Each structure stands twice: as structure tokens, then as C-alpha cells.
Chain A
Amino acid sequence: MAGLLRIIVQRLLLGIVTLFVVSVIIFVAVNALPGDFAEAILGQGATPEAVTAIREQLGLNQNAFTRYFVWLGGVLRGDFGVPLSQALFAGNFGTTATGTEVITVVDQIMPRLRNTLFLAGVSAAIAVPLAVTLGILTALYRNSAFDRSMNVTTLSAISSPEFFIAYVLILFLAVLNPVFPSLSNIFPGMEFSERLNRTMLPALTLTLAVTAQMMRMTRAAIINLLASPYIEMARLKGLSPMRVIVKHALPNALAPIITVIALNLAFLVTGVVVVEVVFVYPGIGQLFVDSVKIRDIPVVQACCLIFAAVYILLNLTADILSIVSNPRLRHPK
């Protein structure tokens, strides 16, 4: 047990180091921008006074090393700074466009992050049971017409771009048969059922994208085991094929299945960008794309870091779970 704990702590520390390195990469990448934010954003109308004012406000007159640690310190305290668009206006006029309090990056990101996690959660709730069930069924009826058609279908689903799936779903489920709305107009304080209804199409798109991968992995993991002697034994005992697979093969195939599920959940959170844009879903992916277009650096930095953190965290979970579920890895010699 102590060994297991040590492995987990080890992995966690490794994850934190990775995250630190990633933050350096992001910071360096952003600082490779020509000129600095102040000039880049003010553009044609950059007077020396305005540039100086914004530089001072954003702390750009310090060297890169100091700025990195100021930024990192802020991030650790949950302060990602102020969106450039807001900072700019505030720098010029001392107040925001609407005259209210300055909205920070965190204020902008938090509700959207919740929305994205909701979307990812709904898709996962549909995709994981579906994928495991279909995986078991295709392993059970392998090489039948059902298995082959599922193989072709999933292969097509994996390789289609998300926006193709999204538009086909819109065509059939929103335009031709108005079952779900094609625009996911979510706002705070909505009823849960209404919210679910509007999240359904993007969730289904993501489901189609990730189910295929998980299902193929489940099938492969189970079939890999079917040649083992203990499966042979179970068959010779006269157990039904379903029982052989569910009781004898599945527990031993759990490690690869859990890994692929965790990896696909990571994809759910990070791969939402395109889907959110198609359905105008107010999530963090859409915010990211919009910020990229207007080069709102603090927001881009923050989104990037959050995506990377989620990605690393889920990969870490996959790693730890596969160790926990495999006694051989749990007690390394």
C-alpha cells in the first residue's frame, strides 16, 4: 500500500513539474510576439504616452524573468490578470466601456469553464456506457456482419472532421426533424432540462467522435485476452460466451479500457473548440478561438494553461488508474 502511495505521489509531482514546464513554454511563446502587447494592440494610433501608460499598467517595463514570476504568482493565487481589451479601455479612460468594474480573465473564464465541463460531462455520460457496451458486443459477435458494419461505422466516425458530424447532425436532428435546437444558447439560471436539451446536439457530436475510439479499444483489449488459457478453461467449463467475456475477460482488460477512457475524456475537454464554434456553445473553447482572433494575450495564456492542466490531470489519472488496476505494476520487482 505504501508503495502504491509512493507511485501516486511520484506521478503527481511529475505532473506538477510538467505543468510548470508547460507554463514556461506558453510564456516564452507569447513573449515571442514582435514588439509588445501595447504596440501590437494600439497599432496605428500608438502615441508614446499611451504605450507607456499601458506598459506600466501591464508591468511590461520589467524584464521577462520578473514578468514570468509575477504572472506565475498571480496564476497560483487564481489571478490571471485583466483581458487586454478591458485593460486597453481602462488604460485610456480609467474605466471600462460600460463604466462598471473591470472584468478579470477569471470572471470571463469561470462560467464558460463550467459550461464546457457540463458539455464534456453530458457527452461522457452517454459515450462511456455506450462504448463499453458496444465494445463487449462486438467482441462477443466478432467477425459477424454486426461487428464488420460497426468496424466500418466507427472507423468513419473517427476519421470524419467534427464539423462534418456536427453539420450532418444539425441537418437531420435540427433542420429536417426539429428534435433539438441547432444553436446552444445557454445562460445562467436556466432550468436543467432546458439546458440539457440545448446541450444535446454538441454532446451527441462529441459522443460520436469519442465513442468509436473507446469502443475499438474495448473490443481489441477483450479479444487480446481470448487466447489466454484461463479463457479456454472458462469455455471448457461450459460457460456462455457472454459470461466468459463479462466475468473473465473484462476485469483483466480493464487497464487499457480505463486508459483509453481517460484519454478520451481529455479529448472531450480539449477537443471541444470546433464543436463549440459550430453550435455557438458559450464554453471556454469558443472564448479561446475568439481571443486568438483578436490576440487577447492574457485570455489566450489562461485558456492554454487551463486546457493543458486538464489534459495533464486526465493523463495522470489514466496513468495512476492503470497502475492501480494492474497488480503487476502495483508491486514492481
Chain B
Amino acid sequence: MTLLYIIIAAIVLLGVAYAFRMAGQAATSNKPFFRDMPFGVAYGYVLGAVLIVLGVWLFFQPQNVDGVPQAGVMFFRWAVQVFVVFAIAAYLFRLLGRSVGTEGSKKLFRSMPLTAAFGILIIIIYAIVAIFAGAIAPYGQEEVLGAANIVPGGNPAMNGNPEFPLGTDQIGRDILSRLIFGAQNTVGIAFVTTCLAFLIGGSLGFLAATLGGWLDQLLSRAVDALMAIPALIFALLLITIATAWAGSASWQVTIYMILIIAVIDSTRVFRLSRAVGLNIVVMDYIEAAKLRGEGLGYLIFREMLPNAYAPLLAEFGLRFCFVFLTIASLSFLGVGIQPPLADWGTMVRDLAQFINFAAFAPNVALAPLLAAGAIALLTVAVNFVVDWMLHKSSGLKE
């Protein structure tokens, strides 16, 4: 039924778009902007305008009707508010970057799109939270406090408690503290894993590119075989085995998980660094260095690495996202980071059922979304920055 209305509205808009273009042509006495406007573009303008009007209308709907919270409106308002706050914060951050700092950094910020500024800001915030989690969090991550299932929002009338602004979970741990410690655990572990993957994949890749021959063949075929198994499936299989080895020691499971994901992801890093390396070893300056009699270490670290810096850095960002998402997914499936360590994936799984209460208690549904959102926010931020870097280094203008 709703679908029917949407289709009818879309058809009506066709007419409106036509009228809009006609009116534009008449009002501006056939300026090229309206004269050459394809019908699709006119339709796009009208559709955009309608969506904005609808959004504003929804934003100013009452949040409560006869004491019943209008969950849809509230979620929409929150989403819009968060979006606006982030946009303003990113804008201010870019403004700050443009006026403070060295000449180079100012120049960097001047050419930066808003999304990249947003990404950098978020990454900095996450880094600070992760490093100083112990000092920022009001409670410990494993601390079981008085009451369980306190509703987020800190409003006593709605079953909240100002001492726990985001409420507590099923066994009474403070969700805010666990979110903050989750930054330390999840992001920290993902970071260590990515570094490890780069260490393995990068060094082997460059080695294969410089030495070539049977070593290159051996490594490349091994990587081909490993890459033929989907990453998440392979990780799950290996972790099954690892948990059998580790027995009941949960920290061992985490160590094994780091190693497993590092090895699986190092295959992707190997491919890239080998490809980049192969392009570099044929350069004249490598030839010159070889003729000078430089050793393998000098060749790789002083000649090749500086020239492979840009693609590897971008790959580091993307790889970090993949590793981070894999770890979050594994934890979500219950085989990743082990409790009692606070971790976002596990939190989402534990709190997920509260989503079903969203219709009459929107606050309650917020907790699992916050944990999942924390994961999404970081990966989105990293991707924005990587996208900008790739765009900058490729020199694409169109």
C-alpha cells in the first residue's frame, strides 16, 4: 500500500519536474542553465527538494503524542542532530587546521574535503580515547555495579540513572565504560594485527619482488592457494582449531586470533607489495644501487620502501578497516575477543535484543546501535581519509 503511494508520488513528480523546467525557462527568459537542462536533472532537483521538505517536516513532528514516544521521529532527530554536529565539528577542525600549524599542514588542510577532515578528526578522537581509556572511563570494564539493565539517557523518570549516562547491561556493567574500554581493546588489537600483517606480507612481498626466481614462485603460489579460501570462513576454521589448542585460557584464544588474522591478511598485503615492488625493481636507480654493490637490506629499506610509501599507506588504512571489521564480526559471532574484555562486537551481540523495544522505549534500543555505530564510525572515518589520499596521489581531476 505504501509502495503504491510512493509510485504514484514518483509519477506525479514527473509532471512537477516538467513544469519546473518550463517555469525556469520562462522566468529566466531561456537562460542556458534551464534551456539545456535534461529532464533527468530537472527530476533530480524536484526529488531532492521534496526529500528535504519531507525531512524538515519529520524533524519538527512532536516527539510525544499523549505521552507515547514517537520512536520514528526521535530516531530521525537523533540521526540528523548527530550528522549536523559531526559536520560542524569537521568544519571547525578544518578551519583550525588551516590557521594553526606549519606551512605544509596548512596547505594540506586547504585542499582537504570536509569528509577527509571528518575522518582525521574521528581517528584522532578514537586514538585519544583508546590510549587514555583507563583515565576517561568512569568505571572499570569488568566492574559489576549495582543494578542491571538501567536504561540509557540518565532520566530517572524513564528508568535511567544519572550516574550511568548510557545505562548498564544485563549483569550491571556500565555501558559507557565498556564502550570506552572497547576502543582500547578492539582498536588496539586490530591495530596490532594490521601491523603484524604488514610486517609479514610487506617484507615477504618485497623479498619476492627483489629476489624473484623460485622464492617468488613458491610464495606467490602459496598465497594464491590461501587466497582461494574466503577470509572470514578460513579465519573461523582456524579459530575453531585454535580454541581447541588453547583450552580454557581465553587470552590465548585472543593471541591465536591475532596471529591467524595477521597471516590471512598478510596474503593480501603480499600481493600488493609484490606488485608495487616489481614496478620499482626495474627502475634505473635500483640498477645503480645494485651496481654500487648495496646489500639486500639497503635495497629494500632505503631504495624501495620510500618509493612504495603512498600505496602502502593507503593499503594500511584499508587493511586496518578489513581487520577491524573481521575482528568485530568474529566477536559478534562469539569466537573473537573473549570476555571479560570489553569489546564492541560482543557488546552488539549481547545487547541486540533491545532493538525490539525501540517502538515504545527508543532509549533502550540505543545501546546496541551505539556499539555497532562505534565500529562503523571508525571504519567510515578511515575510509574517508584513504579515499582522499588515493584521490590526491592519483591526481584524478574528473
Chain A interface (Cβ within 8 Å of chain B)? Answer: 18-19, 21-22, 25-26, 29-30, 32-34, 40, 137, 141-143, 145-146, 152, 155-156, 158-164, 167-168, 170-172, 175-177, 179, 182, 223, 226-227, 240-242, 266, 270-271, 273-274, 277-278, 288-289, 292-293, 295, 300, 303-304, 307-308, 311-312, 315
Of the residues A18, A29, A163, A270, contact of B224 by C-beta under 8 Å: A18
Q: In the assembled complex, which residues on chain A have CB atoms less than 8 Å from the CB atom of B48? A: 145-146
Q: In the assembled complex, which residues on chain B have CB atoms less than 8 Å from the CB atom of A295? A: 240, 243-244
Of the residues A168, A227, A270, A300, contact of B230 by C-beta under 8 Å: A270
- The answer to whether A141 touches B41 (Cβ under 8 A) is yes
**Interface majority SS (helix, strand, loop, mixed), chain B:** helix
Q: In the assembled complex, which residues on chain B have CB atoms less than 8 Å from the CB atom of A182? A: 356
Chain B interface (Cβ within 8 Å of chain A)? Answer: 2, 38, 40-41, 44, 48, 71-72, 75, 115, 224-226, 228-230, 232-234, 236-241, 243-245, 321, 325, 328-329, 332-335, 345, 348, 352, 355-356, 358-359, 365, 368-369, 372-373, 375-376, 379-380, 382-384, 387, 398
CA distance in complex: A307, B376 (Å): 26
Q: In the assembled complex, which residues on chain B have CB atoms less than 8 Å from the CB atom of A226? A: 398
Q: In the assembled complex, which residues on chain B have CB atoms less than 8 Å from the CB atom of A227? A: 398
A26 → B minimal CB distance (Å):
7
- The answer to whether A164 touches B244 (Cβ under 8 A) is no
CA distance in complex: A34, B358 (Å): 46
CA distance in complex: A254, B172 (Å): 55
Q: Give the residue name and chain of the B residue nearest to A295 (CB).
A: B240
Give the 7 A-B CB pairs with smallest separation, nearest first: A270-B230, A159-B379, A164-B372, A160-B376, A159-B383, A21-B225, A175-B358
Interface-central residue, A19, A168, A176, A177, by most chain B CB under 10 Å: A176
Total CB contacts across the A-B interface at under 8 A: 162
Q: In the assembled complex, which residues on chain B have CB atoms less than 8 Å from the CB atom of A152? A: 115
CA distance in complex: A206, B249 (Å): 35
- The answer to whether B228 touches A22 (Cβ under 8 A) is yes
CA distance in complex: A177, B376 (Å): 24
- The answer to whether A159 touches B329 (Cβ under 8 A) is no
- The answer to whether A21 touches B233 (Cβ under 8 A) is no
Q: Give the residue name and chain of the A residue nearest to B387 (CB).
A: A155
Q: In the assembled complex, which residues on chain A have CB atoms less than 8 Å from the CB atom of B224? A: 18
Interface-central residue, B44, B225, B239, by most chain A CB under 10 Å: B225
Q: In the assembled complex, which residues on chain B have CB atoms less than 8 Å from the CB atom of A315? A: 228
CA distance in complex: A309, B369 (Å): 35
CA distance in complex: A160, B372 (Å): 9
- The answer to whether A33 touches B383 (Cβ under 8 A) is no
- The answer to whether B41 touches A176 (Cβ under 8 A) is no
A224 → B minimal CB distance (Å):
9
CA distance in complex: A304, B236 (Å): 9
Beyond A18-B228, A159-B382, whether A167 also contacts B348 by CB under 8 A is yes
Of the residues B237, B380, B384, B387, contact of A26 by C-beta under 8 Å: B237
Q: Give the residue name and chain of the B residue nearest to A286 (CB).
A: B333
- The answer to whether A270 touches B368 (Cβ under 8 A) is no
CA distance in complex: A177, B358 (Å): 11
